[in-house]
Amino acid sequence: MVLGVRLYSALYPSWGPVCLLPRSFASCSGNPASCCTMPRLGLLHGRAWAVLFGQLRRPPGAVCIGAVHSHSQVAEAALATQLKPHQEKSNFIIKTPKGTRDLSPQQMVVREKIIDMVVSCFKRHGAKGLDTPAFELKEMLTEKYGEDSGLIYDLKDQGGELLSLRYDLTVPFARYLAMNKVKKMKRYHVGNVWRRESPTIVQGRYREFCQCDFDIAGQFDPMIPDAECLKIMCEILSGLQLGDFLIKVNDRRILDGIFAVCGVPESKFHAICSSVDKLDKMSWKDVRHEMVAKKGLAAEIADRIGDYVQCHGGVSLVEQMFQDPRLSQNKQALEGLGDLKLLFEYLTLFGIAEKISFDLSLARGLDYYTGVIYEAVLLQPPAHAEEEPLNVGSVAAGGRYDGLVGMFDPKGHKVPCVGLSIGVERIFSIVEQRMKTFGENIRTTETQVFVATPQKNFLQERLKLIAELWDAGLKAELMYKNNPKLLTQLHYCENMGIPLVVIIGGHYTGKSCG
Amino acid sequence: MVLGVRLYSALYPSWGPVCLLPRSFASCSGNPASCCTMPRLGLLHGRAWAVLFGQLRRPPGAVCIGAVHSHSQVAEAALATQLKPHQEKSNFIIKTPKGTRDLSPQQMVVREKIIDMVVSCFKRHGAKGLDTPAFELKEMLTEKYGEDSGLIYDLKDQGGELLSLRYDLTVPFARYLAMNKVKKMKRYHVGNVWRRESPTIVQGRYREFCQCDFDIAGQFDPMIPDAECLKIMCEILSGLQLGDFLIKVNDRRILDGIFAVCGVPESKFHAICSSVDKLDKMSWKDVRHEMVAKKGLAAEIADRIGDYVQCHGGVSLVEQMFQDPRLSQNKQALEGLGDLKLLFEYLTLFGIAEKISFDLSLARGLDYYTGVIYEAVLLQPPAHAEEEPLNVGSVAAGGRYDGLVGMFDPKGHKVPCVGLSIGVERIFSIVEQRMKTFGENIRTTETQVFVATPQKNFLQERLKLIAELWDAGLKAELMYKNNPKLLTQLHYCENMGIPLVVIIGGHYTGKSCG
């Protein structure tokens, strides 16, 4: 039925990726162009004919039925039904679990593009892929997440091992390294993690969400892998065109040093650290109140902390802290400051230093960080020129965790690690929101050709033809009806944005062409 | 440091995808070829020089250090450490949960290729992507899987909803359709499912495994979507080059008809059906014993069933069953036979009829099937010419489930569905086994260029150069050391199969080139 899709593409490359010929072409004349420049339907003397239309440049005179490729209304209608299922059935039991959602075809397309872009960046930096099970032995996850451990999903004890769903991709990676005695590895991992958080759907936070992680394990010279992690974050955030962003950097040792020189008792380091971590959402006044009223810290100690953690700046702030009379007495803080200085040197070589801010308020919630920590935030241009850009939320974060692998190793052998995690769910919401604002439509299928007929009893011919298209590697669809209406078929093409239609008919008894 | 990667590629396209120039090129001479045809290292008068080697065609006389691209031993060693972690630490607690495993970078590469191939086939047939949460409300999964329901993983009751991990991708799809009142949809879904089975790792069965599903929901003319599902299975199994295969086809209505005309009480249909399902692993004698001794069926009824379920053949067997004096009296069986006849007609048009066998022993375990069912098995060429090909296991299966969506709909509205699931884990094992047998190595990274230096104190130059490569979209790596040895760097390239190395040095005081 179809004569040499490849042959014809070669003959008429300007016609685009797909060209179809009537079955009768070979026996009709030597010149395919004359055969196809038929002035009306069914001109050919064979049993079947083909009409090409859509995005192609057509040969002069070729028949065009209907305008294909404006599929705005239908896509919108589909979006409307598929994006908001939750509101409609409050009296039905049928729903997804709290804090989770189905991903519609539209969302899947956006997601695929973003993840492809992130993964290609990870591969550009030489990372290998790795996957770990969705659940771990419960004990693997205990004592790794500090205050957040209560958010871990446990599986029911149905006999056998006690299991928990993974809470992040970092702890399973550390478990993998220790279990396989791997001392050096650069890997990426894209996968879902689960946290029993109170979901605030509007902000793009779910109980099941996807993380894209990149980590470098191994003993290397200081700050080189750390700088690469920050470079990767910059490449991804620039590549996704999410607008202006800033990466806050700090070091756990500097924070600990600050707490020490300010007089925080060591037993309160963790508690005070998580208060500091709230400075991106709360004012210093409120954080100070929490420290003093809830965590029992002396007011003057809190004030001393406040002098430090409200500072942020570039590499000059690092120098300034080196000169700080109190902090420069603390060994840990000095180590952290030394590393940050080196880090800024490398970031300058990478051409990204202006995207980085040394921010003493950055604390990061997770327990396992031991050195440099960082968090990327998107900036919104301020409404008024004199204002600072708005922080519209964290989209990537990470840091150094040199002790985590050792927690799994029976002999405590350490494997230093540094890594980052891209908060793709947040990015999905931003991109979806942007597409909605700009009224962009998304094709949810990639179909290139639709096989249609205006005639009855043509199912057999359609099935034979489409099998040839599939076997030639073409993306093709037809209507699952014995005798569909031509208009219905063309309407489907228009709705789905299918650029090509082959219309077959037959038993025409008129004159030959040419 | 690097002068116009794109510029130089344009000048010398035959050099391959990456061309690097010494910094001094621009000021050296007008002719890049003469600059690079240096007879030995460090000929250029500038601060840095570049050597290209590996898969590129080099300009005559260009320097080549070491042979890159034979990385057999290291890949094997890596495979050995990463594929067999379980045996080594029987006395440690550190492990993955029973029946689960990590996927090593080598396995991830194989997996990615296979899944890409499967998904591209699904897209060729016009399917949209869809994703559902890893867990569902427990009640969504109850009464869907028959005898297998005991294998569902439940989550611990930590307050809130009772949840279970998904057992397949079909039930969540049906839940999605009912929840969103979708009446028509062609979707694919690639995702993990979880079953508390006794894992027999050797056979490639795990408690966590990946499924690749394609389903067509909607009211259409009979057997057209069903035939497409079988076509898809053929395309995928042929495309993956797994050797010869056969797709067994049957119909639940024919099986029910057989049970009815043989005198099985209706209450025993399900139990007898699951006995029949074991005929691919057990002899008829053993299955008959189970029916009679364990399930209390009269021996003569079992014998009558045996006469039917041991039959298999092509479309002629369908005709033969139409003539069967007993079966032709059963309305259900006649419906099934009529549909199978039509199905074979379409399969002939698709050119795949010879791959399909009407097999009356095929029963499929899951409860939700209502019509045609199918299962693809790989065939091994027999050791002796007179023997039949060996069945080495099922790799794809599916069928029609017209009642499942209605079970979720509060008003019981039905949406007829038909679909298939590719057993990719089984396919992964086969491909891995084959690669092992043939000693094939897999690159686990895609790095194109490695930035090396033989000189000390060149980290800054390396970092600047590699940032330029990354920014130009090149996949590049360097050693995270201040002063790595050149041999170590080249050895890494060889081990990792990196085709290009840029070696930079500087402060050369010799004569200019050209």
Nearest CA distance, A283 vs chain B (angstrom): 33
- pLDDT reading at A470 higher than 60: yes
Q: Is A368 annotated as a binding residue?
A: yes
pLDDT at A280: 83
State the pairing for strand pair B135-137/B163-165: antiparallel
Q: Which of these ranges, A82-91, A490-499, B154-163, has the smallest mean pLDDT?
A: A82-91
Place of tokens 């990426």: A188
Please tell me which of the candidates A128, A160, A470 has its beta carbon nearest to residue B98: A160
Nearest CA distance, B275 vs chain A (angstrom): 27
pLDDT (tens digit, 9 = 90+) per residue, A191-240?
Answer: 999 999 876 655 657 999 999 999 999 999 999 999 999 999 999 999 99
- pLDDT reading at A66 higher than 80: no
* pLDDT band (50, 70, 90) for residue A84: very low
pLDDT at A80: 35
Q: Which residues of B touch A98 (CB under 8 A)?
A: 160-161
pLDDT at A50: 39
- Mean per-residue pLDDT over chain B, rounded: 81
The radius of gyration of chain A from alpha carbons, rounded to an integer in Å, stands at 31
For residues B485 and A376, give the distance between their C-alpha atoms in angstroms, rounded to a whole number.
Answer: 35
pLDDT at A3: 27
Q: Which residues of A touch B112 (CB under 8 A)?
A: 129
Nearest CA distance, B474 vs chain A (angstrom): 6
Q: Which residues of A touch B216 (CB under 8 A)?
A: 480
Spatial contact of A376 and A430, defined as CB atoms under 8 Å apart: no
- pLDDT reading at A480 higher than 50: yes
Q: Which residues of B touch A161 (CB under 8 A)?
A: 97-98
pLDDT (tens digit, 9 = 90+) per residue, B57-108?
Answer: 333 333 322 222 223 333 333 333 333 333 343 345 899 999 999 999 999 9
- pLDDT reading at A59 higher than 50: no
Residue B247, classed as helix, strand or coil, is strand
Per mean pLDDT, which of A33-37, A70-74, A152-156 is the most reliable?
A152-156
State the pairing for strand pair B245-251/B372-380: antiparallel
pLDDT at B202: 54
Q: Is B364 annotated as a binding residue?
A: yes
For residues A172 and B267, give the distance between their C-alpha atoms in angstroms, rounded to a whole number.
Answer: 48
Q: Which of these ranges, A24-33, A331-340, A386-395, has the smallest mean pLDDT?
A: A24-33
User: In 10 A of CB A16, how many CB atoms?
Assistant: 16
- pLDDT reading at B479 higher than 70: yes
Nearest CA distance, B61 vs chain A (angstrom): 30
Cβ of A132 within 8 Å of Cβ of B346? The answer is no
The residue of chain A with its CA nearest to that of B473 is: A124
What is the side-by-side order of every strand in the sheet holding A185-194? A128-129, A185-194, A208-217, A417-422, A390-400, A372-380, A245-251, A356-359, A312-313
Classify burial at B239, counting beta carbons within 10 Å of its beta carbon; exposed 0-12, middle 13-18, buried 19 or more: middle
* pLDDT band (50, 70, 90) for residue B481: very high
Nearest CA distance, B106 vs chain A (angstrom): 8
Q: Is B170 annotated as a binding residue?
A: yes
Residue B418, classed as helix, strand or coil, is strand
Cα–Cα separations (whole angstroms), residue B434 to A119, A466, B243, B429: 28, 33, 11, 8
Please tell me which of the candidates B135, B196, B408 has its beta carbon nearest to residue A97: B135
CA dihedral B355, B361, B366, B371 (to 10 degrees): 70
pLDDT at A466: 97
Q: Which residues of A touch B178 (CB under 8 A)?
A: 94
The residue of chain B with its CA nearest to that of A447 is: B126
pLDDT (tens digit, 9 = 90+) per residue, A105-117?
Answer: 999 999 999 999 9
Cβ of B126 within 8 Å of Cβ of A464? The answer is no
Give the residue with greater pLDDT, B101 vs B28.
B101
Q: Which residues of A touch B176 (CB under 8 A)?
A: 102
Q: Which residues of A touch B227 (CB under 8 A)?
A: 463
Cβ of A112 within 8 Å of Cβ of B92? The answer is no
pLDDT at B313: 92
Cβ of B349 within 8 Å of Cβ of A467? The answer is yes
Cβ of A480 within 8 Å of Cβ of B216? The answer is yes
pLDDT above 70 covers a percentage of chain A that reads: 77
pLDDT at B434: 84
pLDDT at B316: 93
For residues A231 and B464, give the distance between their C-alpha atoms in angstroms, rounded to a whole number.
Answer: 12
Nearest CA distance, B153 vs chain A (angstrom): 7
Q: Is B402 annotated as a binding residue?
A: no
- pLDDT reading at B340 higher than 50: yes
> Which residue of B5, B90, B102, B493 is the best one to mutate when testing the A interface, meaning the one whose CB has the most A CBs within 10 A?
B102
> Which residue of A156, A193, A342, A448 is the best one to mutate when testing the B interface, meaning the one whose CB has the most B CBs within 10 A?
A156
DSSP readout, A86-148? TTTTTTSS--PPTT---B-HHHHHHHHHHHHHHHHHHHHTTPEE-B--SEEEHHHHTTSSGGG
pLDDT at B395: 93
Cβ of A130 within 8 Å of Cβ of B445? The answer is no
Cβ-based neighbours of A348, under 8 Å, separated by 6 or more = none
Q: Average pLDDT, stretch A405-427?
A: 93
Q: Average pLDDT, stretch B43-61?
A: 32
Q: Which residues of A touch B158 (CB under 8 A)?
A: 153-154, 196
**ipTM higher than the 0.85 cut:** no
Cβ of A154 within 8 Å of Cβ of B154? The answer is no
Q: Which helix (H) or strand (E) holds B286?
A: helix B284-289
Cα–Cα separations (whole angstroms), residue B124 to A50, A457, B34, B184, B231: 21, 25, 50, 18, 12
CB pairs under 8 A between A and B: 249
pLDDT (tens digit, 9 = 90+) per residue, A231-286?
Answer: 999 999 999 998 999 999 999 999 999 999 999 999 999 889 989 988 888 999 99
Looking from the CA of A481 toward its CB, the CA atoms found within 13 Å total 14
For residues A189 and A209, give the distance between their C-alpha atoms in angstroms, rounded to a whole number.
Answer: 13
> Which residue of A89, A91, A92, A94 is the best one to mutate when testing the B interface, meaning the one whose CB has the most B CBs within 10 A?
A94
Cβ of B231 within 8 Å of Cβ of A470? The answer is yes
pLDDT at A31: 39
Distance of CA B177 to the CA centre of its chain: 25
pLDDT at A82: 37
pLDDT at A136: 97
Distance of CA B7 to the CA centre of its chain: 40
Nearest to A71 by CA among A44, A106, A102, A95: A106
Cβ of A123 within 8 Å of Cβ of B480? The answer is no
Cα–Cα separations (whole angstroms), residue B384 to A418, B242, B387, B389, B392: 58, 21, 6, 9, 16
Nearest CA distance, B366 vs chain A (angstrom): 22
Classify burial at B509, counting beta carbons within 10 Å of its beta carbon; exposed 0-12, middle 13-18, buried 19 or more: exposed
Cβ of A208 within 8 Å of Cβ of B134? The answer is yes
Nearest CA distance, A428 vs chain B (angstrom): 14
The residue of chain B with its CA nearest to that of A161 is: B97
Cβ of B126 within 8 Å of Cβ of A475? The answer is yes
* pLDDT band (50, 70, 90) for residue B470: very high
- Mean per-residue pLDDT over chain A, rounded: 81
Q: Is B124 annotated as a binding residue?
A: no
Cβ-based neighbours of B489, under 8 Å, separated by 6 or more = B450, B452, B453, B479, B501
- pLDDT reading at B251 higher than 70: yes
Whole-prediction pTM = 0.81
> Which residue of B470, B474, B477, B492 is the best one to mutate when testing the A interface, meaning the one whose CB has the most A CBs within 10 A?
B470
DSSP readout, A336-375? HHHHHHHHHHHHHHTT-GGGEEEETT---S-TT--SEEEE
pLDDT (tens digit, 9 = 90+) per residue, B133-160?
Answer: 999 999 999 888 877 888 999 999 998 8
The residue of chain A with its CA nearest to that of B216 is: A480
Nearest to B359 by CA among B305, B287, B311, B302: B311
pLDDT above 90 covers a percentage of chain B that reads: 65
Q: Is B447 annotated as a binding residue?
A: no
Spatial contact of B493 and B70, defined as CB atoms under 8 Å apart: no
Please tell me which of the candidates A350, A463, A480 has its beta carbon nearest to residue B220: A480
* pLDDT band (50, 70, 90) for residue B51: very low
pLDDT at B26: 29
pLDDT at A204: 57
> Which residue of A137, A173, A349 is the best one to mutate when testing the B interface, meaning the one whose CB has the most B CBs within 10 A?
A349
> Which residue of B196, B418, B480, B482 is the best one to mutate when testing the A interface, meaning the one whose CB has the most A CBs within 10 A?
B480
Cβ of A480 within 8 Å of Cβ of B98? The answer is no
Q: Average pLDDT, stretch B257-271?
A: 93
Q: Is B169 annotated as a binding residue?
A: yes
Nearest CA distance, A2 vs chain B (angstrom): 14
pLDDT (tens digit, 9 = 90+) per residue, B167-221?
Answer: 999 999 999 999 999 999 999 999 999 999 876 655 657 999 999 999 999 999 9
Nearest CA distance, A407 vs chain B (angstrom): 11
Q: Is A168 annotated as a binding residue?
A: yes
Cβ of A481 within 8 Å of Cβ of B445? The answer is no
- pLDDT reading at B33 higher than 50: no
